[in-house]
Amino acid sequence: MRFLPVSLTVLLVELADLDETLALFASLETDPVDGIIDMVPAARTLMIRFRPEKLSVEKLAGEIATRDLSARIAPSDKLIEIPVRYDGEDLADVSELTGLSVEDVIRRHTESTFTVAFCGFAPGFGYLVGGDPALQVPRRQSPRTKIPAGSVALAGAFSGVYPQASPGGWQIIGTTPEKMWDLSRDPPALFQPGYRVRFFDLEKKPVSISSGPSKAAAATTSDIDAGALTLRVLAAPMPALLQDLGRFGQTGQGVSSSGALDQGALKAANRVVGNPVGTPCLEIILGGFSFEVSGRAVVAFTGAPCPIVIRDASGRTIEAQTYRPISLEPGDVVTFGQAPKGTRSYLAMRGGFAVKPVLGSASTDTLAIVGPEPVVAGTVLTVDEETSALTSVSLTETPVFEHPATGEIVTLDVVMGPRSDWFTEKGIATLSSQLWQVTPQSNRVGIRLSGDVSLERRDKAELPSEGTATGAIQVPHSGQPVLFLADHPLTGGYPVIGTVAEYHLDLAGQIPVNAKIQFRPVTTFADIKPARA
């Protein structure tokens, strides 16, 4: 085993192969180590999130190093059969790469019995192993920006099915009408780790596929009672998103945590109005957002310091402050202006929004398309007026940091690893020696960065997919890094040179477009040495 640092609360265990990875994963699930929060298995790594107050990273590595990796996971008795139209646009390329005829590619694929090794990349995306070795082909040199949902594809030793339209670099050999991810199912992911999978050719064995309606992912409102306190959105130039502290315990289905990008601001907003700190809030980006309340309410705004104007039923206007409780009367209209600094503001209502959680959370994951619908003009949100969990409002909340403005330089601390050794000394030096500009292509998935000098790699080797943490600085072939935020994919296939320290993630979530980032390494990359038991 090799133990690699990811961040202050995450490490990556590198193993010889997938069998060892799954054996270690099974061992830690059967006999857990106190302090481990979550695990993400991948092709030959296991990413582990832990509580540093419970045990040090060296002690955790020492606990893991003694585990027996000889056991093999018994296959599940659950068999999933997937109908396929072998009409993929890369089918001819796969034929050429393998030296097989197209008919032989299809025959070998349908005669294989696969096993779902692990899930990642996107909700419901299962990495299938056990196929014919003759079908092992590399990823495409140039990934596609959009692969249709239901695409059946190959990459390396894996086969898989894209559950939704998304970017990707796998070789597409066909399509299936089967739904891989459906929130009306329990569990939503059709592929679960350990399941066996077989594909069959629809041309030779036609079947009828049900196309009946499925349940909506979530509703932003419950059935509204006539006397309920409501918030009606009048304007939303950019859709607002319901967010809480995140969605945990769903990595087995390929679902990452998501959650508010500035968690400190969300917690502060809830404390201001007397809610439990994890109560869902609205995450609002840019100005122009406006709403009307139907009754008396107490609200708070935190995060980016946007101007707030309240117009009452008589037309009189007053200005309000962030980080302070604000009392509203029936018919009051509240409008946000453009924040001069920062990117995201948080709106909390005393009592919280009555929103149905999806997989245990009210967070909206924009990449995975999991969670409540975006909040747009015309949306009506109901306020939960249950008072048993409420406390007094807080008058002492303040921003934790100075919000950055466009054009300013923001310094972020970085823990080097887990793949710093994939880069040259020049590449390592470039990470911190130059400023990186935040591009307009940035969003909740990640901050796309642009620098004069690209990060230089030692070689162009392909990295097997492995778990990625929030804050990871992933470097694609272009050498221009992407800083992963809360809605990032659970696994990735490009090396991560370093990871932003957890205490700077809220700040990263507030960096506006055209600001500049200065990365400041706070560690030197080195393998973690396990502590002796």
Please check whether residues 252 and 172 belong to one and the same domain: no
pLDDT at 31: 93
- pTM for this predicted structure: 0.91
The model's confidence at residue 221, banded by pLDDT at 50, 70 and 90, is very low
Please check whether residues 426 and 359 belong to one and the same domain: no
* Torsion angle in degrees (nearest 10) through CA of 478, 484, 488, 489: 50
In angstroms, the CA 114 to CA 346 distance is 45
pLDDT at 215: 39
In angstroms, the CA 30 to CA 7 distance is 25
Summarised one tens digit per residue, pLDDT across range 110-136 is 999 999 999 988 889 999 999 999 999
Q: Is the pLDDT score of 322 beyond 50? A: yes
- The answer to whether position 174 is within a domain reads yes
157-167 mean pLDDT: 92
8 Å CB contact between 93 and 9: no
pLDDT at 222: 44
- The answer to whether position 399 is within a domain reads no
pLDDT at 372: 96
Please check whether residues 434 and 378 belong to one and the same domain: no
The model's confidence at residue 216, banded by pLDDT at 50, 70 and 90, is very low
Q: Is the pLDDT score of 271 beyond 70? A: yes
Q: Is the pLDDT score of 85 beyond 70? A: yes
511 torsion bin: left (phi>0), alpha (psi -120 to 50), beta (else): beta
Summarised one tens digit per residue, pLDDT across range 424-435 is 999 999 999 999
Please check whether residues 87 and 55 belong to one and the same domain: no
pLDDT at 205: 83
- The answer to whether position 178 is within a domain reads yes
Please check whether residues 433 and 465 belong to one and the same domain: yes
Residue span of the structural domain in which 337 resides: 230-382
Q: Which two tokens stand for residue 441?
A: 């292509």
Please check whether residues 299 and 172 belong to one and the same domain: no
Q: Is the pLDDT score of 226 beyond 70? A: no
Count CB-CB contacts under 10 A for residue 498.
33
In angstroms, the CA 428 to CA 412 distance is 16
pLDDT at 387: 77
Most confident option among 70-79, 99-108, 160-169: 99-108
Summarised one tens digit per residue, pLDDT across range 185-203 is 999 999 998 899 999 999 9
Please check whether residues 54 and 86 belong to one and the same domain: no
Per-chain mean pLDDT for the chain: 93
- The answer to whether position 222 is within a domain reads no
Residue 131: C-alpha distances to residues 43, 127, 198, 199 (Å) = 15, 11, 10, 11
- The answer to whether position 430 is within a domain reads yes
Domain count, the chain: 4
- The answer to whether position 532 is within a domain reads no
Give the whole-number percent of the chain exceeding pLDDT 70: 96
488-496 mean pLDDT: 90
Give the whole-number percent of the chain exceeding pLDDT 90: 82
List the CATH number of the domain containing 469: 2.40.100.10
- The answer to whether position 404 is within a domain reads no
- The answer to whether position 118 is within a domain reads yes
Please check whether residues 241 and 312 belong to one and the same domain: yes
List the CATH number of the domain containing 271: 2.60.120
Q: Is the pLDDT score of 254 beyond 90? A: no
Q: Which two tokens stand for residue 64?
A: 């893991």
The model's confidence at residue 368, banded by pLDDT at 50, 70 and 90, is confident
